[in-house]
Structure 1
């Protein structure tokens, strides 16, 4: 049997469509990974090969129905609880006190936080743990967490909030006791985020290339971490400019430590490691 691979033309066409509509780059180095994931999608549709799958997409008009599945298949969903933990420390010791004093966020109205490109949910649930602890120490403190991702399937997993037990290693023991429920299945040890925490997070489908935001209000804090590295500089500029438009004056934008806003024209000032304040 001949090897089942994407033709150069089909791969280039897929890469162009995905970058244009989702902003995600598909360099040639990712070709084997993309082929492996799309083979599984082809099998799910009962198609015998990648060639047949691409014929369905491009020759039979299947791309409109299948585009979200293509994005889900090629999207990288690396995520962890308490990833880059200094950001959560700064949220508690710097950002929240500043916003309480300057805008009343958290006291006169809820502190509004957006986890953009939230993947399967560890980041927004980490935020919910941290902010719930703040609320326990500051009577009357209120907050709201919105979380979005381009992948519908991954958002469904985030809403279920069930994770392999090894994923919770970064979560402090006291938070595990307060916020996590352990499965009784010893053969498949999992944990689930407790209902009180799940209720604190609202999930929305959202493409970061879309103008505006999925929320009806400006945000006080936006986490958009470890996703910009998949975008071209031009797309980074467009995405970040839109996020800044969705951020209140004096609000905070946090990006991944491997990501830089240098050479981008944005209304923000650096205030810490991968932390920026809206002018």
Structure 2
């Protein structure tokens, strides 16, 4: 094992409790919407100009599924306007309890507070029990996301490289050196020129070109 690998793992063991604490603080759907809007623009541009479509998406460290479903809603909105736009989403997390909640797709009503009424009506069902104050993703949304129990800090296999990897819940909580090490690992799973979406902009990202608002393109 290399010294870089030892440093990565040692740092991970020290910082993981802070990460888990941070993951417990849920944001609502389409939190930091500018990232999803910009990603939608990139997808639409590829589709409009006949470039190789961005169709395979990985949400790494998906926590309870809000980012995975936010991405799905974003892409479904694009597909409403652009016929032939197809996509698949794989979302991973290392905690089975998180994945169980994500698969159910049930969240507090406050999680949709930032969405327009039209989006809420199109993609969510409100609980009939008003005391519970919950919403649930419609089946058509839940069926579009595949969930897998997977630790992104370990090697894993994919059928094919991903066009886009969204990792907004994890990397920015770490020391920059750990960010670069893990981003380098994720880069192995990207197609040439693939997009990596982070939760915050990093000062240095070797192997990537900064596009906009914590979105990076593999070079």
Which TM-score tier does this pair reach, normalised by the shorter chain?
0.7 to 0.9
Residue 269 of structure 1: CA displacement? 0.5
Residue 151 of structure 1: CA displacement? 1.2
- Unpaired segments ≥5 residues, structure 1: 1-18, 31-70
Number of paired residues? Answer: 210
> What is the SS of the residue equivalent to 2:15?
coil
Q: Which has the larger radius of gyration?
A: 1
Aligned equivalent of 1:123: 67
Contact 2:46–2:53, Cα closer than 8 Å, also in 1? no
Higher strand share: 2
> What is the SS of the residue equivalent to 1:88?
helix
TM-score by length of 2: 0.86
Aligned equivalent of 1:267: 207
In 2, Cα distance between equivalents of 1:203 and 1:24: 27
Structure 2 CA distance for partners of 1:240 and 1:199, relative to 1, 3 Å:
same
Aligned equivalent of 1:176: 120
Deviations for 1:58-79, whole angstroms, at most 9, x for unmatched residues? xxxxxxxxxxxxx97x673323
TM-score by length of 1: 0.68
Residue 230 of structure 1: CA displacement? 3.1
Contact 2:99–2:149, Cα closer than 8 Å, also in 1? yes
Q: Work out which of the residue numbers 112, 132, 151 in structure 2 matches 1:207.
A: 151
Task: Report 1 or 2 for greater relative contact order, CA contacts < 8 Å, sequence distance ≥ 6.
Answer: 2
Aligned equivalent of 1:92: 40
Residue 164 of structure 1: CA displacement? 0.9
Aligned-CA RMSD value: 2.4
Q: Does 1:216 align with 2:164?
A: no
In 2, Cα distance between equivalents of 1:242 and 1:101: 30
Contact 2:11–2:178, Cα closer than 8 Å, also in 1? no
> What is the SS of the residue equivalent to 2:153?
coil
Task: Write out aligned runs for 1:102-113 (5 A).
Answer: 103-105=51-53, 111-113=55-57
Q: Does 1:83 align with 2:23?
A: no
Contact 2:172–2:198, Cα closer than 8 Å, also in 1? no
In 1, Cα distance between equivalents of 2:94 and 2:44: 28
In 2, Cα distance between equivalents of 1:24 and 1:101: 46
